[in-house]
Every structure is written in structure tokens, then in C-alpha cells.
Structure 1
Amino acid sequence: MTVVPISSAVMTHPVRERQAQELVSRLRLGGLALDPAPHDPPSALRTALVAWSAVSPGAGHHLVVQDDVSAPPDLLALVGRAVERFPDEALVFYTNWHARNGSASRLAALAGAAWVRAVPEEFTPSLAVCLPVALAAEFGAFARDSAERHDDEVLSGFFRTKGRMSLLAVPNVVEHIGTSSINGHAAQGIRLAVCPMDATDADGLLRRGWVLEELDWLPYMRYGEGYLRLPGQEKAADGGRGHIRWRDALPAIARSSQLTEERVRDLVAEHMPLGLATDVARTFGPDFAEELWVHCLFMGRQAAGAAHRHAPQNAAGPADVVDEDALARLKEAAVSTVGPAGLSPERRPEAGPEKIRLMTEFAWTAIRAGERLWQDAPDG
């Protein structure tokens, strides 16, 4: 196996310097990238520019990790094997459970994919990102004069200019810790990985699993309500950042999906399990229970379609077979986060282990119904 030289840095602020240094020591990373102006208004980009410029001589790739994460001791080795497979890609090793990219990762997991192309209009999850050093230098030049303070937004802006968004690792071995935010994200509440996985399982999947490049329409949830991202939405006047409720989006996909609001209502009446729905509604309300079930119905349908259309074309190689048990665990991990991630931030602390198990069981009933829906009436 080729050894890919990777340098690394942990971006941090002096108030977290001790925490960051412990992370460097535990993961054997290159060193700290400290905020150069810690007394100025918060700016993740200011620190990110330091981190992305801290490339070691001779390195072919550079990994930047933020200070508020946990990760396995062999993270660098896992990243190195991913870089060997995708030497020219921007690789992202953590994705938020509540974002559009989180839903893309969750859908990819259900389709059986190990990587998914990020959506163009959303921020790039920047807790653990690896770039080829030439691309890192280009990003530094692109971002140097930006007035934006969020590095995740500027990363996406940069990738859009390149015409190629990052590849998201569907199994996440990097996890966000804490809810505080130097850069103003605390209002988003509990923010965790979309598909948390053991490093051994994740490594095998990332080395051999296929890549989901095309998402078609994408269901996602935010603040307890379901939405659909439409194909080509990034070309809209607002850059695609607007949110379209699923009822309003259905007419745009009715011909290809054979779904109408009336049809969805019929499916809810026919297949949503009343007992589980009542149990979810008891804590989080009937509206949330129904929105979650409809969202998972859409997700199951789209995952089944994506697997049918794309899986045979994107395998790592004919001799590479993923561990089916690991893949099953990935799917379970993905579905386990759909309930709490779909809640509004102030309600997420109510989702303890029992509530998560309940929402996961409930979500699976909708996913299975969605899979059957696609099998009965696949897209043309």
C-alpha cells in the first residue's frame, strides 16, 4: 500500500488551547493553529486560514481538524487510506446530523453507499476536512480577503467555483463534542454526527464502498418539519438556500415520483403504525410524529431508487465486497439519528435513549414503506 504523506493541524482559540493540545497529542496530529486575533470579533475563517497554511514540507495532503471533536487514535491512518483512494478530492470526515448534507449522508447510508457528493448550496461541514495541498493553497488565496467569518460557508463557495463539491464520508468516526460555540452556533443546540461508527467498520466501508454522486430530490428535516431539496435548486435566485416544504415541492416532482399530497396522505393512513405514532406524539406532538414518518417515507423511496440506479456503477472494484454486517450497522446508525436531528434545537435534549429507540423503530416503518413504494412504481 502506498503511504500518502499527510500533514495536519488543529484550529483553536486560546480559551480552548489546552483541549486542543490534548487532541493533538491523542491523535498524533501536527500541531495547533491558533486564532491570530483572539480579542477581535469571532471568526472561524481567520483561524482556518492559519490552519490551512500550516502544511508540512513534503506533504501531499493536509488535514484540518477543529478542537471540539473526538476521534479514534488511528484517524490519520484512516484518512490516509481514503486519500489513497481519492487523491484529487476534498474529503470530509464529519457531517452534521441536522443539515441537508446530513440528510444526503443518511440517504446514502440507506442506499448502501460509503461516500456522497455534498449539495452545492449548503455549508461544508468543516470539523475534519482533508485537501490536496495544492487545493489547500488555492483555498487560502480564495478566502484571504473574504468578509465572511464562517469557514464552512467559504469552503462551499470555493468548491462551487471549482465545479465540484466535497465528498462526504458517510460513516463518521469524528464526533462533535459539547454545545458551546465560539463562532455563534450554540443556538443550533446539540449537533452530532449523522452516522456515527466504529473506526474498524468505517475504514472498511470507506475503502471499498461505492460513491453516491447524484441525489435527485432530497428529503430533509429542520425544526420539526419536512422539506424537499429539488434537483438543480442551487441555480435558484437565492442560491438554493431557501427551504421548500414537502407539500409545496411535490408538484415539481409529481410526474417522476408519482407522488401527490393526496397519495402521501393515503400512505400515512394505510401504513403509519398508530401505536408507535401515538407513543412518539405523546412526547413530541402529533405534528412532529407525522412529519417524521413522511420524511422517512420519502427517504426510503429515494434510497431504494439511488441504490438501483447507481450502486453497480460506482463500486471500488469487482473484487471489493463490503462487509454486509458493517453496512447494516451503518444503516442503523443513520436511522438512529433521524429522530433527534429532526427536532427543533430546544427539544433535542428530551430525546434520551428510550425516546431515540422509539423514534428509530418508528422511522424504520416509514423507510420500509418508502422502499416498497419505489419498488412498486420506480422512476422511469
Structure 2
Amino acid sequence: MSSAVMTHPVRLVQAQDLAHRLGLDGLAIDPDPQGPSSALRTALVAWSAAAPGASHHLVVQDDIEAPVELLEIVTEAATRFPDEALAFYTNWHARNGGAARLAALAGAAWVRAVPDEFTPSLAVCLPVTTAAAFTSFARGSAERHDDELFSVFFRERGRMSLLAVPNIVEHIGTSSINGHAAQGIRLAACPVSAADAGPLLAHGRVLEEPGWIPYMRYGEGYIRLPGQEKDADGGRGHHPWREALPATGLTEEGVHAVRKAHLPEDLAARVAHTFGRPFAEELWTYCLLLGRQAAHAARSLGPAPASVPDAAVSRLRRAAVAGAGPAGLSPERRPEAGPEEVRAMTALALSAVRTGEALL
């Protein structure tokens, strides 16, 4: 395993500290820091830095936090999946974040990324042959986002990356050299400790096809439908859950009936006090659909391996649910989610997930 940290001179000290703390090989510095912002420009340097004799290469970005066990965990994962592209972070309000959240509730430790969205690239491990193929593919591209070009590359090869459901890598800060600052606070979908992530990633189950995927962003719930990447816009559009329901076998009337019968008014009122009744109801409905689909996906998985502690699985589920509310807020409102607000949203989301698992 060789490794590199992507960085820009304005974050050089931060990147040096990260590389030192995690025992990473070195820095990949933007070769044209005065030029137009381009993560791809730096990514090409990073992915070309695989050491001679290495079988795999890990590239992380400079604005992350990760445990000192990162290299050990990544190496074990690469040994388990030697031919796969492995991503160790998923954005909490993205479709892939929704896929990771669904997989966590279904009892899986890995999930196949969707083909109609960027590949989360804060921490990615590739076989060196794949890294070389990507640099060859990407060189000369007019695209400036490495995460977008990754998805084009993987789609053309017919196999998207595997996403680590327990996220051991966390995004830090809200600034963005590449123009994403407007997204505000951007965190991992399912953050867990290295102690829990180790056995989960080494032995946990893989969810290859989660089916339709509920996700929530900017205060609205959506559903990512299977095959959406074949839409005229490449699948990049967002389908509100009400519009997408007919393709799931559910009805809006049925969902409303379940919500009317089972929405806990006390919890909804606590969330509504800060974020409004429409958001509280939307969060509960999103998590209802999430619980239903997770229960459905769980049936496609084999038996849980004995080597994965039940407590680790439970903590992963809890992390997935705890992030659903804050991730679903619009960027300007996420700073309002203090500890009390997060506890209220988590309790409301958990009630919906349990209802969805049991009723739909």
C-alpha cells in the first residue's frame, strides 16, 4: 500500500500534519496553484504517485480527519477486495450517502455506489493498475472535479466503486478550494470508530443492489430509482418521493395513512419547534421509506457473520439514523442543529425507521 495526500499550498501545513499523523507516504501538491481551481489537476499528481512494487494506492484529501488505524483498515479491505475501487467516505446528503445509510440499516458493511452521481473521493483506494488506467483516462480532460470523472471512468468500465458503510474518514471544515463551500457543513453519512469499523469492513456483508434509495437534502425527501442513470439527463435529476412512489409499489395514500397512524406527535413537535412542521413530517416520511427499503434489502443478504460484533452493527445503525436529520436540512440551517436538536431529530427518525421496518 502506497499513499498520498492531495493538497494545495494554502493547506500545506494541514496536509503535512495529516500525512505525519497517519503515516502516509507524502504530499501531492497542486502543480498550478494560481490557476483555475481544479481538484482533478492535483488528483492526477496523487494517482501518479503509486510506489514501485505497490499493489494498491490510497489517496486522501487534506481536509479530512481519520484514525491512526486508517492504513491498517484500508490495507485489510484491499486484501479482501483486491480488484475493487474502495471509497471510505460518503457525503451525508448525497445519493451515495443515502445508499450507505440504507445499507447500514439493512446490516451491510459495504454497498455498491450508484452510477448517476459523483464518486466520493475524500479517501479512495485503487489497485495500482486501476490508478494508472484512471490517470491515462483523465489526462487532458476539461473536467475539474475528480469525483465526477471517477464516476464516468467507472461507468465506462461497467463497475462502480464499493463504498465503506462505516465511515472512518470525516470531512472537516466548510471551506472548499474546488467551489463546494455553498453546501455548508458536509459530514459523513455513517461515522463510527475504528474499533467498530475494523471487523465490519473486514467481515461484514456487501449490498450489491439496494433497489430504490430514499435520501433527503435541502429539506426535501427524494428517491433514487434503479436504472435512473439511463434518464435523458444521465440520472442527475432528483425525483421527489411523491413522484417516484409509483415505481416502488407504494402509494402516497398508503404512506400518509401510516404517517397519520404512527407519527409520534411529541417528537414531531420537538423537531418542529426549531425547524418547522413541514420539515418534521418530511424527515419522518423519508425515514419511514428508508426503514421499509432497508428491511427489504436485508432479505437479499446472507446470514450475519459471527465475526462481526452485534454491538458494532447496532452502533452503525445508530450513526446512520443520527445523521439523517442534520443532513436533510438546508445548508444555512445546519448550524442550528445543536445537541438537543440532533437528539430530537434522531428520536423522530428512529421511530420512523422502526415503523417502516415493521409495517411496509
TM-score (norm 1): 0.93
1:308 and 2:303 matched: no
Q: Distance in 1 between matches of 2:220 and 2:197?
A: 30
Which one of 325, 328, 333 corresponds to residue 339 of structure 1?
325
Which one of 325, 330, 335 corresponds to residue 349 of structure 1?
335
Q: Distance in 2 between matches of 1:209 and 1:77?
A: 17
1:28 and 2:6 matched: no
Which one of 279, 282, 287 corresponds to residue 288 of structure 1?
279
Corresponding letter in the other structure for 1:332:
R
- Residues 263-295 of structure 1: CA deviation (Å, up to 9, x unaligned): 111111000001111111111011111110000
**Deviating runs (4+, > 4 A) in structure 1?**
none
1:155 and 2:146 matched: no
Q: Distance in 2 between matches of 1:332 and 1:253?
A: 26
- The answer as to whether partners of 2:196 and 2:312 remain within 8 angstroms in 1 is yes
Q: Distance in 2 between matches of 1:278 and 1:199?
A: 36
Corresponding letter in the other structure for 1:200:
A
Which one of 185, 191, 202 corresponds to residue 180 of structure 2?
185
1:227 and 2:213 matched: no
Q: Distance in 1 between matches of 2:80 and 2:25?
A: 22
- The answer as to whether partners of 1:113 and 1:311 remain within 8 angstroms in 2 is no
Corresponding letter in the other structure for 2:93:
H
Q: Match for residue 377 of structure 1?
A: none
Quote the offset at 1:373 in angstroms.
1.9
Q: Match for residue 307 of structure 2?
A: 321
Q: Distance in 2 between matches of 1:278 and 1:19?
A: 42
1:240 and 2:231 matched: no
1:126 and 2:121 matched: yes
Q: Distance in 1 between matches of 2:350 and 2:167?
A: 21
- The answer as to whether partners of 2:14 and 2:62 remain within 8 angstroms in 1 is yes
Corresponding letter in the other structure for 1:362:
L
1:197 and 2:217 matched: no
Q: Distance in 1 between matches of 2:141 and 2:232?
A: 22
Quote the offset at 1:321 in angstroms.
3.0
- Residues 181-239 of structure 1: CA deviation (Å, up to 9, x unaligned): 00000000000111111101100100110000011111011100001111111111111
Corresponding letter in the other structure for 1:122:
E
Corresponding letter in the other structure for 2:265:
L
Q: Distance in 1 between matches of 2:210 and 2:319?
A: 20
Corresponding letter in the other structure for 1:262:
E
Corresponding letter in the other structure for 1:285:
G
Q: Match for residue 261 of structure 1?
A: 252
Q: Match for residue 348 of structure 2?
A: 362
Corresponding letter in the other structure for 2:194:
A
How many aligned positions are there? 360
Q: Distance in 2 between matches of 1:69 and 1:47?
A: 16
Q: Distance in 2 between matches of 1:82 and 1:252?
A: 35
Q: Distance in 2 between matches of 1:324 and 1:192?
A: 25
Q: Distance in 2 between matches of 1:134 and 1:309?
A: 32
SS in 1 for 2:4: strand
SS in 2 for 1:310: coil
Q: Match for residue 58 of structure 2?
A: 63
- The answer as to whether partners of 2:199 and 2:307 remain within 8 angstroms in 1 is no
Q: Distance in 2 between matches of 1:95 and 1:252?
A: 26
Q: Distance in 2 between matches of 1:311 and 1:353?
A: 37
SS in 2 for 1:130: strand
- Residues 101-137 of structure 1: CA deviation (Å, up to 9, x unaligned): 0010000000010000000000001000000000000
Q: Distance in 1 between matches of 2:103 and 2:247?
A: 23
Aligned-pair identity in percent equals 70
Corresponding letter in the other structure for 1:94:
Y
- The answer as to whether partners of 1:87 and 1:132 remain within 8 angstroms in 2 is yes
Corresponding letter in the other structure for 1:165:
M
Which one of 43, 48, 51 corresponds to residue 48 of structure 1?
43
**Structure 2 segments unaligned to the other structure (5+ residues):** none
Q: Distance in 1 between matches of 2:20 and 2:78?
A: 22
1:103 and 2:94 matched: no
SS in 1 for 2:357: helix
